[in-house]
Structure 1
């Protein structure tokens, strides 16, 4: 029996938006582990980029301060990643998101539309830059971060659920249009994930309230727990890798089985959006 072959090094230039914390940071670190030549991390909060300088792979990390919804910022990130890597843009992760709850019966429609745009615009801007550069190179992969809410909405979160459903539609449309140019476009639909935001939410509750949230999160995920940022990052990295070379236009649930559960009793007041 022949020995198993080692997986190829990922290589190439990559961009991760919303990469300062949580899933975005875990994804950037995972790409470095897999051998990315450079990873540009786009983050609106400069304080969230401080970890990059102290990271063991700092020479391959490129912090980019700016709004991921701004196409000029996206262009700047792509250029920085390519310059640092000395190679073409190979991967792009649209992870940046805004969490603002709203209900149509008490929030003006214009404000709801603005909230939808706040979550959709970063994916559109990132994809616009990525598909153009990747099409010119004849290869590349994009992963858009979606949510279980695109199919199984949580009450009070209509703008977020609507935006994520649009992100999944964008994923399919771009996969069809740019597949002939060598560009793969996929999405991951995340369940609840243990990030700094989730920890901060629990910290704002008393012991009894935090216990109720943990128990509820266990009930709505058939695996009995929420996910980790590292698990989300691994799924994203896989879709960017050559191992997923024949996957495009797919939305992959990374949710511990949440969306296949027949009944999701999560209430708005838990405040846990992803």
Structure 2
């Protein structure tokens, strides 16, 4: 595997599982020095220890929904490595599934605080550093639920639409400083979060629900985390810096289907 990230420092939030884990592994194998951020202390510490066999990696336990949590992981990165070349602004939750009228204000605010506030706080802190150092790449995790309605997920859809808006707006602001800002919009990728969603719908029959769920997809399957990691690594690599302000679906083509 090529070493596109030799000498580069990348922060990954939500690193202990799912897309964050797969992307952290990919970046490490390509030589990136990593700051791995998650609330799951045991998981993120174990990951940092394992990936340190490839390239430098440190773990930071922090809540991205709190400004002090964001300040903690940014400071740890600067103290350890002195720069930030890439930022995978990925941590997020789906939340409970329910009709909008039954979703509940507490659950709505919980989901938005992690998925949208967390992305904003992270961007605000990292962009200042990237502007001052003269460049960098930011990749936000949106969702197909950020470019169309999905049903029964008011908090998730609202937050992910917000991520798309933040991505576009900040890309317009910071392109002049050599900072590239994009988002990915994953569809149904088989992660623990998606399994949890299927269990909400189908209980013990969640695997059958999953088989039915992917039938409308042109590829008739779930995506794999490593497929998303490959796209994330490309967009963070700096190989195509003129891609800016884009939200790129990775969903087997489902969002383009009539």
- TM (normalized to structure 2)? 0.89
* Pick aligned residue for 2:85 from 77, 87, 90: 90
Say whether 1:222 aligns with 2:218.
Answer: yes
Say whether 1:34 aligns with 2:23.
Answer: no
Aligned to 2:75: 79
**Compared CA separation, residues 191 and 135, structure 1 to 2 (3 A):** same
CA deviation vs aligned residue, 1:141-180 (integer Å, no higher than 9, x gap) = 1000011111232221011011100100000000000111
Aligned residues: 253
Q: CA contact under 8 A between 2:100 and 2:153: conserved in structure 1?
A: no
Q: Which runs of 5+ in 2 are unaligned?
A: none
Say whether 1:57 aligns with 2:52.
Answer: yes
d(CA) in 1 for partners of 2:156, 2:3? 37
Q: Per-residue deviation at 1:205? A: 3.8
**SS at 1:28 equivalent:** helix
* Pick aligned residue for 2:8 from 6, 12, 15: 12
**SS at 2:215 equivalent:** helix
Q: Per-residue deviation at 1:52? A: 2.0
d(CA) in 1 for partners of 2:29, 2:37? 19
Q: CA contact under 8 A between 2:12 and 2:87: conserved in structure 1?
A: yes
Name which of structure 1's ranges 171-180 and 113-122 shifts more when overlaid on structure 2. 113-122
* Pick aligned residue for 1:240 from 236, 244, 257: 236
Q: CA contact under 8 A between 1:10 and 1:31: conserved in structure 2?
A: no
Q: CA contact under 8 A between 2:36 and 2:48: conserved in structure 1?
A: no
d(CA) in 2 for partners of 1:240, 1:112? 30
**SS at 1:184 equivalent:** strand
Please give the root-mean-square deviation of Cα atoms over the aligned residues, in Å.
Answer: 2.2
d(CA) in 2 for partners of 1:67, 1:112? 17
Q: CA contact under 8 A between 2:103 and 2:154: conserved in structure 1?
A: no
Say whether 1:115 aligns with 2:111.
Answer: yes
Q: Which runs of 5+ in 1 are unaligned?
A: 1-5, 263-274
**SS at 2:92 equivalent:** coil
Aligned to 1:128: 124
CA deviation vs aligned residue, 1:213-241 (integer Å, no higher than 9, x gap) = 23223213211111111111111111111
**SS at 2:7 equivalent:** coil
Q: CA contact under 8 A between 2:64 and 2:118: conserved in structure 1?
A: yes
- TM (normalized to structure 1)? 0.84
d(CA) in 2 for partners of 1:126, 1:219? 36
* Residue pairs, 1:169-208, within 5 angstroms: 169-199=165-195, 205-206=203-204
Aligned to 1:166: 162
Aligned to 1:270: none
User: Larger Rg: 1 or 2?
Assistant: 1
**Compared CA separation, residues 199 and 211, structure 1 to 2 (3 A):** closer
d(CA) in 2 for partners of 1:224, 1:108? 34
Aligned to 2:250: 254
